[in-house]
Structure formats: C-alpha cells, structure tokens
Structure 1
Amino acid sequence: MEAKHIICQNSFVYYQVYGAGKPVVLLHGFGEDGKVWQPQIDFLQEHFRLIVPDIPGSGQSEIIKDANIDTYADVVKQIIDKEYPEGQEQVTLIGHSMGGYATLSFAEKYPGCLNSIGLFHSTAFADSEEKKQTRRKAIEFIKTKGAFSFLKTSIPGLFTASFVENNPEKINALIGYGKNFSNEALVQYYEAMIERPDRTRVLKQMNTPVLFIIGENDMAIPLQSSLQQCYLPDQSCVTILEQSAHMGMWEESEKANKVLFNFLFNYF
C-alpha cells in the first residue's frame, strides 16, 4: 500500500494505492472513508491497481469549502491525472451511494477517462421532494446534536437487522469512524446530495459498461427505484444482493467481491 495525497483548492486530499495492473478507483459514500472498502481491497489488489480516496471532509482528507458533487468528481480527476500524467490510461470508477453520485458526475464531465463505471447502492435519479425533506431534517439534527450522534443513530439502519445483531463489532467499527467527522462535512454532503441534478441522461449516453449492485433490503436506495435505471445504458450488468441493505460490501462481501472481479475482468 502507498499513502499519497494531492492538494485541491488548498486542501489536503488523501488517497491510498494498492496492487498493480489496470486501475480501479473505489469511491466511498456518506459517513464513510476509504476503509469501508477493505474487504474489496483485500480481494482485488492481487489483480488490479486500486486507487482509494478519502472524499474531502472524510478520513484523512481536509474539507473543501463550498464543495459539491461535481467538486468530488474533480478531485478524482486530479488524482487520476497525478497517477497517470500522460493521460492515456482509462479507469473503472466504482462509487458507493454518495460516491456513486460523484461517479456519475465524473462520467458526465470526463467520459474519455473511463472504460466502465459501477454504481454500488447508488442512483442516477435526483432526490424526490420527500427525500430532500428527510435530508434537511438530518442537517438540523447534525447542527443541534453533532455529527457523531447522528452517525451513531443512523448507521445501524443502513444494514439488515440480522447483520446488526450478528456483527456488532463491525457496526461499532463503522460508528467509530464517525468520531472523525465534523458537522460541517456532513452538512456539506447532505446539501450536495440535495442539489445534485438528475443524471439519468448520463446513463443513457454511456457507451461503456455500467455495473449496478443493488441491495434487496436497501431503504436508502430502494430496490424498485434502482431497477428502473438499469435499462438505461447500452450495456448493464445487474446484481441484486438478496441479504443486503445499503452496505453490501460488508453484508455480502464475498458475493460482492466476486461480482466486482467478474465485471472488472470481463470489461477491461
């Protein structure tokens, strides 16, 4: 593993690089950092070169003032440019949840940099008004009670009840990451998600393969909503994790790893 960084808009952005071979960027979601991909890193690093950033405001990366989803996509582009300064290497970008929103922004802005993308419990649809209201309530909770209190309350709901019951140490580990988040970062993420546009057009225009990994029990990105976007790209690969909610990389890590490997192996 190599620990690296870039400076983006005067902010330190941390990322790690594992393995060798064709490049794959793993982009985490809200209330996480790059460590959330550890089960996938352990499995895939023998076959691919994995680039795993901490989105600004998460993990070891500093927050970027007034950042939005497009900013996070630009951060990924800057990292890729540093790793491949000649600009001839295409990457696969896999985004979980909010990381998927940044993945779609990247695909819209920099399609020539990609040979495929993956949406892992994520969606191209904009927030509904109901979803926006839910996020605004979360913002008020964070402002009044703090980031860690919010994550401690919300994280268990991202998993199936049986996973929470059988894996308390993993839930506590993810909650533990939450101690590093500032109120400002989580509020910025929610505001960025509220403001992001519908990007179904991006999927319709994709001329490279798109992987969809969907949790059957996902309450954050519901199954039926996820399925509605799968027919939009010319080439879709769809997997439903039947025992997962919103955190399939942990809930069904072995199956998720095999799906990712097969997609990456077949579509590079």
Structure 2
Amino acid sequence: MTHSTLAYTDAGSGPVLVFLHGFCESKDLWTDFTKPLQHQFRVIALDLPGHGENPPTDDYSMENQARQVRETLRQLQVDKCLLVGHSMGGYVSLALAEEFPELLFGLCLFHSSALPDTEEKKEARNKTADFVQKHGVDKFMDSFVAPLFAESNRQSCQAAIEKMQAIGKATPPETIIGCLQAMRDRADRTEELKTTVAPVFFLAGKEDPAVPLEATLQQCHLPENSMTYFLGHVGHMGMWERTALTRQALLKFAETLSPANAQPQ
C-alpha cells in the first residue's frame, strides 16, 4: 500500500529530530518550541493523518499512522532520527519503533505512554466519540483543551489554550472519532520498551490528567537505557506550561545520544 507524503516543516541542520503532535493537534504545536533547537539539529515536524494540512484517512490505527510517518521520512531521506511524540504522537512513535527500529537513535515519550487504555479509559473514549457525533467538534474542543493544562497555568497559558482550541476545531469529526477508536484499541507496547535498543526519554508532568504520574513510574525503568524528567506544576502540555525547562531537558537528552548514531544527514 502506498502512502502520500504527510504535511511537514523541515528546518535547521545536524542530527534529525522528528516531532509528532497528539490528538486534535497539528505540527503548529511545535513551531515556537523547536526554533532554538534548529541551531544544532535538523528539526522536522509532521501533521499526522487527518490532522493539520492532511486529509482524513480510512485507517487511524497507530500502525498505519506510523507507516505514513516512515514513508514521509523516507522521502525526506531521513535514515536515523530522535523521535519525539506528544501524547497520541507517542503511541505512533512506539508503533514506529516496533516496526522500523533501525530508524531511531532515540525516542522521547513527551507526556505519553506505552501502556494500553484501561477499561475506564476505553469507556471514556466511547463517550467522547458519542459526544462529538451528537454535539460537534466545536463544543467538544471548548471543554477538552483547558483541563490538559495544570490549573495553576491556565491563566498564563490562555493564548496557548486558544491556539489549541482553534487547531482542534479545524480537525474533521471523522478524524477525531477515528483516532478515539484507534487509541482505545491500541496495543500494549511495554514489551517494545523492554526490547528497544534506542535510549528512551520520558518527559512527564506531575499534574498530567491524561498520563498520570503513576503510569510513567510503572514503565520508565523498562528500557535498557532511559532517562525520566518530572516537571512540577505541569499538566499534559509542557511545551507551553514550562517551555524553557522542557526544551532544556529534551536538549540535554538529545546531546547525550551517541554521536555515532546521530550523524548529520
């Protein structure tokens, strides 16, 4: 099956960092966050299928999304990268790591997890899909975004919340419903964490409602080589809630990776 290229931005030079956004987001999520990284790295940010500039697809499974990411990176002549996945982007990154391990010299689960949905979470996904079908995308996004930020940050992050709502409202309902079902049904990838040779970086918000602290503690020791950075007073959106600190933590991880695995393209 051939895949068309996903929409992307590509700037800077050096070892490649690839950024994947989460559910109801787009590559625009990363614009300001990644600019300072372009001095040392080639930074690529992709729109996942049905998000941003990409049309809806008929298969939102993490595996299919991972294949489309791989195909796009192949067309961009990327042989090795540090893959950074936010939330659902982390689920896609793990599927990619499983199928194309040779591509990664590092993996960052950015407020994300290898654990499958709990029964409670699956039920919540079903309810959300029903809500979107009945009430539409706009009404869903009005209530969905703000709780992703720690309560203490919502006022200072108001511009980011509004930007996220606008990106989310531009996401087609079939994409939202398709992704909810795909996240609900995704595989447990903790085994992938145990077997990956790529170093893994867990970036976790201590007040994350989507990926609770306990979930990160349950898996951060599984890879052979891993680092974990816990951000205080941060929910699910460290790139906006604590921008400089989050960027610095990611940069330090990227700089620890073996130069042999991170040759400039």
TM-score, normalising length from structure 1? 0.93
> 4+ residue stretches of structure 1 with deviation over 6 A?
none
- SS of 1:92's equivalent in the other structure is strand
Work out which structure has the larger RCO, using CA pairs closer than 8 Å and 6 or more positions apart in sequence: 2
Aligned to 2:133: 143
Which of 13, 20, 42 is 1:49 aligned to? Answer: 42
Aligned to 1:17: 10
Which of 122, 133, 140 is 1:132 aligned to? Answer: 122
CA contact (8 A) 1:158 1:246 kept: yes
- SS of 2:6's equivalent in the other structure is strand
Measured in 1, the distance between the counterparts of 2:182 and 2:220 equals: 24
Q: Choose 227-236 or 12-21, whichever is displaced more.
A: 12-21
Cα RMSD over matched residues?
1.4
- SS of 1:62's equivalent in the other structure is coil
TM-score, normalising length from structure 2? 0.94
Q: Tell me the amino acid that sits aligned with residue 116 of structure 1.
A: G
Q: Deviations over 1:136-180 (max 9, x none)?
A: 000000001111211111100100112112232221111111221
Number of residue pairs matched?
A: 258
| 5+ residue gaps, structure 2 | none
Which of 229, 250, 253 is 1:260 aligned to? Answer: 250
Aligned to 1:178: 168
- SS of 1:165's equivalent in the other structure is coil
Measured in 2, the distance between the counterparts of 1:179 and 1:139 equals: 15
Aligned to 2:62: 69
CA contact (8 A) 2:6 2:69 kept: no
Q: Percent identity?
A: 35
Measured in 1, the distance between the counterparts of 2:57 and 2:13 equals: 30
Which of 88, 98, 116 is 1:108 aligned to? Answer: 98
Q: Tell me the amino acid that sits aligned with residue 122 of structure 2.
A: K
Superposed counterparts of 1:157-176, under 5 Å: 157-176=147-166
- SS of 2:31's equivalent in the other structure is helix
CA contact (8 A) 2:87 2:109 kept: yes
Measured in 2, the distance between the counterparts of 1:241 and 1:187 equals: 31
Which of 211, 222, 246 is 2:212 aligned to? Answer: 222
Aligned to 2:194: 204
Measured in 2, the distance between the counterparts of 1:190 and 1:226 equals: 21
CA contact (8 A) 1:39 1:249 kept: no
Query: In structure 2, do the counterparts of structure 1 residues 8 and 154 end up closer, same or farther at CA, with 3 Å as the change threshold?
Result: farther
CA contact (8 A) 1:24 1:51 kept: yes
Measured in 2, the distance between the counterparts of 1:165 and 1:190 equals: 28
CA contact (8 A) 1:13 1:62 kept: no
